[in-house]
Amino acid sequence: MLIDDFNPLEGKMLQILKTDGTVVEGLDPKLDDSVLLQAYRTMVLTRVADEKAVKLQRQGRLGAYPPCKGQEAAVIGPAMAMRKDDWFVWSFREMGGLLYHQIPLMSQFLYWMGNEMGSHYPDDVRALPSSVPVGSQLTHAVGISYAAKLRGEDTVSVAFFGDGGSSEGDFHEAANFAGVYQCPVVFVCQNNQYAISYPRKFQTRSPTIAQKAVSYGFPGILVDGNDILGMYAAAREAVERARSGLGPTLIEAYTYRLGDHTTSDDATRYRLESELAEWMQKDPLDRFNRYLEAKGIWNDDLENAAVKEAQDEVEKAVSEAENYPKPTVDEVFRHMYAEMSPDMVEQMERIRAETGKKGA
């Protein structure tokens, strides 16, 4: 078992796909070629869509946006290990996992354009809306997984958060509850080294975040977060543990944010160029590309075609989002409760009157 073999308390980190595109002998999960190609194409689409989102924000066509460049493997790997009826509980930097989980790209652009309808997903997709408050989604994930356990379902919740989230009380409350009640949940911490501009080393004295799981009575594993095979393999094992009734697991994805924290940030003010250059050499897409080429199932022509296909899909999604009906003043009130309270109705009517705008 990988989770037993790579004990973070012993300073071990799981890596299967090395930076040169070769794999560690004996650890290759031997995924079907069609699965590998689907994963890589999703990574390419995510990279193209992410770069487009930043440009849209600079042009004033998108609100504040959190880039995910460099963290594609840390999210898509766990998404690959999930079943269709498992719950995807995300923070705000998990575009790749959402795409792999069949959430339309148009919805994601729409959300970051400030339209709450972007959080309305297809009925057959089990995913929560974005949770920008740091760490609050972890208690939601545990609650969902506990409910599934009480109902006798075998679904699993996979919850994503950042290293900054591990400093929040919500993380500790969620982990404690999940450990006590053996909830079927997998915590995936994307340790991208910075909580906004605050370095990871100033957030905790703990050598790893993964080892914090031990305090709550369940296992943790440190994984090279830029290694999609490693992230998939660790998540598959953690999901299977949860589904079989063995409780939660904490996966720490050791990765790096190649862009700014958000489009309101300027990472050049607190990061060294040499550090960024070092991590660029570990780009998860480049590493996976070399692996696929070595297997003989990918080449430059396929790469160019995949990028062109992704660009076309992104432009189509942007057009659909920009042409979507604009939100009305009523949207501010509609999505908090199933039915608005009398005072909310009064507030809505007052704002309608003050702004001269009619609801819809």
88-111 pLDDT per residue, tens: 999 999 999 999 999 999 999 999
Instruction: Please give the pLDDT value at position 358.
Output: 62
Look at residue 359 in the predicted model and tell me its pLDDT: 58
**pLDDT bracket for residue 355 (50, 70, 90):** confident
Q: What span, in angstroms and rounded, lies between the C-alpha atoms of 136 and 171? A: 8
Q: What percent of the chain has pLDDT over 90?
A: 89
pLDDT interval class at 290 (50, 70, 90): very high
Q: Are 76 and 46 in contact (CB under 8 A)?
A: yes
> Which of these, 66, 83, 55, lies nearest to 130 by C-alpha position?
66
pLDDT band at 330 (very low <50, low <70, confident <90, very high): confident
Catalytic pick among 261, 271, 287, 291: 261
d(CA 360, CA 352): 11
DSSP code of residue 68: -
The mean-pLDDT minimum among 92-96, 132-136, 334-338 falls in: 334-338
Active site residue 335: no
How far is 329 from 331, CA to CA, in rounded Å?
Answer: 5
Element (DSSP H or E) covering residue 185: strand 185-191
**Which alpha helices (DSSP H) does 59-199 contain, by range?**
72-80, 95-100, 105-112, 136-151, 169-180
Q: Are 250 and 211 in contact (CB under 8 A)?
A: no
**Is the distance from CB of 78 to CB of 235 less than 8 angstroms?**
yes
Residue 214 and residue 179: Cα distance in Å, rounded? 10
Rounded to 10 deg, the angle between the 105-112 and 33-58 helix axes is: 30
Total residues belonging to the chain: 360
Q: What are phi and psi of 23, to 5 degrees?
A: -115, 155
Buried/exposed 170-191: b ≥16 CB within 10 Å, e otherwise: bbbebbebbbebbbbbbbbbbb
- Report d(CA 141, CA 67) in Å as an integer: 23
The average pLDDT across 319-340 equals: 88
Asked if 181 is an active-site residue, the reply is no
Q: DSSP letters along 215-267, please?
A: HTTS-EEEEETT-HHHHHHHHHHHHHHHHTT---EEEEEE----S-SSTT--G
Q: How many CB atoms lie within 10 A of CB 193?
A: 17
pLDDT at 305 over 90: yes
* Residue-level pLDDT at 125: 94
Question: In which region does residue 264 sit, left (phi positive, over 0), alpha (psi from -120 to 50) or beta (all else)?
Answer: alpha
Token look-up 């040499």 returns 274
Among the listed residues 287, 285, 302, the one whose alpha carbon sits nearest the alpha carbon of residue 44:
285
The answer to whether 201 touches 208, Cβ cutoff 8 Å, is no
- 273: which 2 tokens? 């160029």
Q: Whole-prediction pTM value?
A: 0.94
Supply the pLDDT for residue 116.
Answer: 87
Angle at which helix 72-80 crosses helix 284-295, to 10 degrees, equals 60
Mean of per-residue pLDDT scores for the chain: 95
Average pLDDT over residues 66-85: 97
Q: How far apart are CA 360 and CA 356, in angstroms?
A: 13
The answer to whether the CB of 203 falls within 8 A of the CB of 195 is: yes
Catalytic residue among 257, 271, 287, 291: 257
Residue 270 is predicted with a pLDDT of 94
Classify burial at 305, counting beta carbons within 10 Å of its beta carbon; exposed 0-12, middle 13-18, buried 19 or more: exposed
> Which among 83, 270, 335, 350 is annotated as catalytic?
270
Spatial distance between the Cα atoms of 40 and 26, rounded to a whole number of angstroms = 22
Has 257 been annotated as catalytic?
Answer: yes
